[in-house]
Amino acid sequence: MQKLAILGGEPVKKTPLPDWPYYDDTERQALQEVLESRVWWRTPGTRTLQFEQEFAAFQQASYGVAVTNGTAALEVSLAALGIGAGDEVIVPDFTFVATASAVLFTGALPVLVDVTPDTYCIDPDQVEAAITPATKAIIAVHMGGHPADLDRLTEIARKNGVYLLEDSAHAHGSEWRGRKIGAIGDIGTFSFQASKLMTAGEGGMIVTNSKELERLIRSVHDCGRMPGEWFYSHFIYGSNYRLSEWQGAVLSQQLRRFPQQTATRTRNAAYLDAELAKIEGITPQRLDPRVTANGHYAYIFHYNKTAFAGVPTKRFIEALNAEGFPTQASYPPLHDLALFKNGEYRKRLAPEAAQAQHAFMRSGFPNTLRGAWETVWLPQPTLLGSEEDMALAVEAVKKIKAQASEL
């Protein structure tokens, strides 16, 4: 067997993986049309409006409101729900910081709870245990594209009279029991940042089936304006979260080829699931049988170092990268971020809440720690590679395992 690439041998994958972002002449033409129309601004424009309708229909939601990014989508949604000082919102400890920082932005307290050990999505039992009279909402994150348990979460939300928000930044096109995610809860938010499944560099979307929520979301995202009213009348709290016409035009084109890309990612992920699971010490993210489609923002697998001669996750990742397979970092646990550890988050809270003990800061979060430090993430553009590329990815893991004692 060839020497490990990290030790000076030949890499398993010698040619580049697919470039990302993907574009072709349709994006070029759409941008040219916006340019020449001189309508670059959302307000009089039609491109972003059209994309809102296309994307909402694609996600099987009644309404879509495009915003500047996925973080803004969460902030606008929480503001539209009237969440603020004194309220609590339950969020997973294992996610990008935006899921929790958007809650702090409103002045409410993000209550961190653990995820499940195999899907890495918010654990419904932990959610149930964290509900208090101050709870106003639950934010589920569909980790890596895999939907959280929406059966249990909708039931818990309904029973307790709280909102369910789906942070779907990773999960364009994902389905739960045959239904697209996003508007299964009260509101769903998406990101079109550069690494996401569809992108305009930055961008976000909010979907809902509620006409009243759509009215409020649209108003918050446009300075508190209301449709049909004078331009300088502002009725509720709002800010400027509007997406430009350039981005709307590009995203319409990205959406057009998205189903075909999803089919490729799904085929390749299924192959990796089957082949990587045969390697002792590698456990792919569990696919819940109720998940009927997974957008696959990333291909996530658990790495057990004891099956790899004790080689730490970080060193395994370096070796895999050297073999020609890039990875993206997993998220650190939120409770370990300086924002929480140093108590900085308290500065966003109302005085009483700021001084209170927050029990979640004393929790262990074992499954989040497992997700944060023991998983390996292949980024979604890798899943657009060929069948041969997938076989080489499996070969690279086997090669590292066979020579793990050298590392």
Ligand X SMILES: Cc1ncc(COP(=O)(O)O)c(C=O)c1O
Q: Is 286 considered catalytic here?
A: no
Tell me, what DSSP letter sits at residue 8? T
Q: Which of 192, 210, 190, 214 is nearest to 201 (CA)?
A: 192
82-101 residues near ligand X, rule: CB under 6 A: 95-96, 98-99
Q: Pick between residue 119 and residue 403 the one whose CB is nearest to ligand X.
A: 119
- Containing 291, the helix (H) or strand (E) segment is strand 291-293
Q: Which stretch binds ligand X (CB under 6 A): 36-44, 46-54, 162-170, 321-329?
A: 162-170
Among 204, 238, 324, 371, binds ligand X (CB under 6 A): 204
Name the catalytic one among 22, 23, 60, 96. Answer: 96
Q: Is 38 considered catalytic here?
A: no
The Cα 65–Cα 52 span in angstroms is 6
Q: Which residue is nearest to ligand X (CB)?
A: 70
Provide the β-strand partners of residue 379.
298
Q: Pick between residue 110 and residue 324 the one whose CB is nearest to ligand X.
A: 110
Residues 6 or more apart whose Cβ sits within 8 Å of residue 281: 303, 304, 305, 306, 307, 308, 401
Among 62, 154, 160, 193, binds ligand X (CB under 6 A): 193
Q: Is 167 considered catalytic here?
A: yes
Q: Which of 187, 201, 180 is nearest to 157 (CA)?
A: 187
Q: Is 47 considered catalytic here?
A: no
CB 76 within 8 A of CB 273: no
Please classify residue 123 by burial: count the beta carbons closer than 10 Å to its beta carbon, then call 0-12 exposed, 13-18 middle and 19+ buried: buried
The Cα 71–Cα 92 span in angstroms is 15
CB 185 within 8 A of CB 163: yes
Q: Pick between residue 169 and residue 397 the one whose CB is nearest to ligand X.
A: 169
| 140 belongs to the binding site for ligand X (CB under 6 A) | no
Q: Is 53 considered catalytic here?
A: no
Q: Which of 170, 196, 142, 119 is nearest to 371 (CA)?
A: 119
Q: Tell me the closest approach of the beta carbon of residue 338 to ligand X, in angstroms.
A: 19
Among 4, 103, 156, 169, binds ligand X (CB under 6 A): 169
Q: Is 196 considered catalytic here?
A: yes
3-state SS assignment for residue 32: helix
| 330 belongs to the binding site for ligand X (CB under 6 A) | no
| 148 belongs to the binding site for ligand X (CB under 6 A) | no
Size of the site for ligand X (CB under 6 A): 14
Q: Is 192 considered catalytic here?
A: no
- Sheet containing 291-293, strands listed edge to edge, beginning at the edge strand earlier in sequence: 179-180, 175-176, 291-293
Among 75, 167, 214, 275, binds ligand X (CB under 6 A): 167
Residues in contact with ligand X by the rule CB under 6 A: 69-71, 95-96, 98-99, 141, 167, 169-170, 191, 193, 204
Residues assigned a catalytic role = 96, 167, 170, 193, 196, 225, 232, 242
